[in-house]
Amino acid sequence: MGASNTVLVSSDEQLGMFRVARKAFTDQEIFKAEYDKVFNKCWLYIGHESEIAKKGDFVRRIIAKRNLVFNRDMDGNLNAFFNTCPHRGAEVCRESKGNTKHFTCMYHGWIFAANGQLKSLPGEDRYSADFKAQNRGNLVPVPRFENYRGMCFVNFDKDACSLVDYLGNAKEYLDLVLDQCSEGMTVVSGQQEYAIRANWKLLVENSNDGYHAAMTHATYLDYLANTHAKGNEVALRGVGRELGGGHAVVEYTAPWGRPIANWIPAWGEEGKEEMNRIHNRLVEEHGKEKADRICFKNRNLLIFPNLVINDIMALTFRTFYPVAPNYMNVTGWALAPVNETDWARKYRLNNFLEFLGPGGFATPDDVEALESCQAGYANSVETGNEWNDISKGMGMDAMYDDEIQMRSFWKEWNRRIQAPVEK
């Protein structure tokens, strides 16, 4: 009994019921099907162009079990290559990041230009005269590589639709993030990596789940009330939206400060002047309505299947890949406007580390909750409860703490893994 012959997602609009089988989080056959039908077919985020800003810059990434090199060649073009020598298969890049005009295979010394072309190889005279011209000695690019406003994605399906078409309605919310600075956004140096002993789809749900905030993050909300947000009466209030294609968003107000012009009393008069300056600039560039939305609304955005953008008290991009049904690796990056002042950058990073980082208020709480869910699934058969209920707000006007955004994900997941949602 696996992904093909068991109902995994069940929906009944009349009853206001949407359920997901818990075996979707534990079954090895389903885990394998996810790589075949989701990760091998969808557009996957590999990185931001600012990470490889200079000619010759590169980073190494593991994307859906593939070992890749994401780089900028000496002509300034962005590339994503399989990190595999075409000769005998050794890695041609063994550093996590750096700058180089060429990559050298340590096994037999083949040398490749930054654009992937085979440059030289020892004993070249023992190969056919046109060996290089045949191009079979070049590094192999990923089947599809596309860039949306600095956000770079790969797809291992050569027949996939364009990235722009894939993003669909999610582009509106991506643009609200990317329009924070007309000069562009940049990844703050470094990345954070950690693992969670839980199924990857639990982190999908958690990342745009407003329902858990009051309970799971009560300590942080109390901290805000007594320190940073003291004197700020803004409440957690907003709406969840299904964006099609499995993408979803929660957009809402919150009591914390945002260094993109959402001032709080704890930041004092210097902070107020800085926030007013940013807001005025955004009004000039985008008009007041859009500027207010950029500045004063928070967004938790999911790009199906596994890119989460938290545009909240700071801005983070996060991806996560399953190693097993009950284990995932997570990578997170902090982003910021390229022209941000030292003052704003300081508070942005403080906010990032304070709440979003692996040691912040939120992430340890969330990890504990997700691992607790995974542990609880061991009891599914014995308790007679083999379903998760994801029906909050069903048939009603969506609120930020409803579950419409999770249902959006599960509908697309089920469409790809199995069959249309059972009615």
For 58-98, the pLDDT digits (tens) are: 999 999 999 999 999 999 999 999 999 999 999 999 999 99
Same domain, residue pair 328 and 245 = yes
Same domain, residue pair 109 and 189 = no
Q: Give the domain CATH number at 295.
A: 3.90.380.10
Domain that holds residue 141: 44-159
Q: Give the domain CATH number at 115.
A: 2.102.10.10
Same domain, residue pair 153 and 176 = no
User: What pLDDT is stored for residue 306 in this prediction?
Assistant: 98
User: What pLDDT is stored for residue 266 in this prediction?
Assistant: 86
35 found inside a domain:
no
Binned at pLDDT 50, 70 and 90, residue 418 comes out as: confident
Question: Any idea which of 51-65, 165-179, 255-269 has the lowest mean pLDDT?
Answer: 255-269
Question: Any idea which of 205-214, 327-336, 374-383 has the lowest mean pLDDT?
Answer: 374-383
Same domain, residue pair 186 and 126 = no
Binned at pLDDT 50, 70 and 90, residue 356 comes out as: confident
Same domain, residue pair 155 and 179 = no
Same domain, residue pair 189 and 319 = yes
Share above pLDDT 70 across residues of the chain, in percent, rounded to a whole number: 95
What average pLDDT does range 206-231 have in this prediction? 76
Which amino acid would we find at residue 158?
Answer: K
User: What pLDDT is stored for residue 326 in this prediction?
Assistant: 97
pTM score, whole prediction: 0.94
66, 180, 298, 372, 420 from 281: Cα distances, Å:
42, 10, 19, 45, 47
Same domain, residue pair 282 and 199 = yes
27 found inside a domain:
no
Task: Please identify, among 130, 159, 188, the residue that sits at the C-terminal boundary of a domain.
Answer: 159
What average pLDDT does range 161-190 have in this prediction? 96
248 found inside a domain:
yes
User: Tell me: the pLDDT tens digits for 11-61?
Assistant: 999 999 999 999 999 999 999 999 999 999 999 999 999 999 999 999 999
315 found inside a domain:
yes
Same domain, residue pair 110 and 211 = no
Task: Please identify, among 100, 128, 159, the residue that sits at the C-terminal boundary of a domain.
Answer: 159
Task: Please identify, among 108, 139, 159, the residue that sits at the C-terminal boundary of a domain.
Answer: 159
Asked if 150 contacts 184 with a C-beta cutoff of 8 angstroms, the reply is yes
Same domain, residue pair 180 and 150 = no
Q: Tally the domains of the chain.
A: 2
Asked if 9 contacts 19 with a C-beta cutoff of 8 angstroms, the reply is yes
Binned at pLDDT 50, 70 and 90, residue 307 comes out as: very high
Same domain, residue pair 92 and 195 = no
Same domain, residue pair 53 and 201 = no
User: What pLDDT is stored for residue 369 in this prediction?
Assistant: 94
Q: In what order do the strands lie in the sheet with 9-12?
A: 9-12, 17-21, 387-389
Average pLDDT of the chain, as a whole number: 92
- Tokens 């060996």 correspond to 131
Q: What distance, in Å, lies between the first and last C-alpha atoms of the chain?
A: 21
115 found inside a domain:
yes
User: Tell me: the pLDDT tens digits for 106-115?
Assistant: 999 999 999 9
User: What pLDDT is stored for residue 379 in this prediction?
Assistant: 87
Residue 298's nearest CA partner among 242, 248, 251, 239 is: 251
User: What pLDDT is stored for residue 16 in this prediction?
Assistant: 94
Which amino acid would we find at residue 257?
Answer: G
Question: Any idea which of 102-111, 196-205, 223-232 has the lowest mean pLDDT?
Answer: 223-232
Same domain, residue pair 123 and 234 = no
Q: Quick check: 131 pLDDT over 70?
A: yes
User: What pLDDT is stored for residue 398 in this prediction?
Assistant: 86
359 found inside a domain:
yes
23 found inside a domain:
no
User: What pLDDT is stored for residue 72 in this prediction?
Assistant: 98
What average pLDDT does range 383-395 have in this prediction? 88
Binned at pLDDT 50, 70 and 90, residue 331 comes out as: very high
User: What pLDDT is stored for residue 5 in this prediction?
Assistant: 65
Specify the 3-state DSSP secondary structure of 413.
Answer: helix
Q: Quick check: 1 pLDDT over 50?
A: no
Sign of CA dihedral 155, 50, 185, 365: positive
17 found inside a domain:
no
Binned at pLDDT 50, 70 and 90, residue 361 comes out as: confident
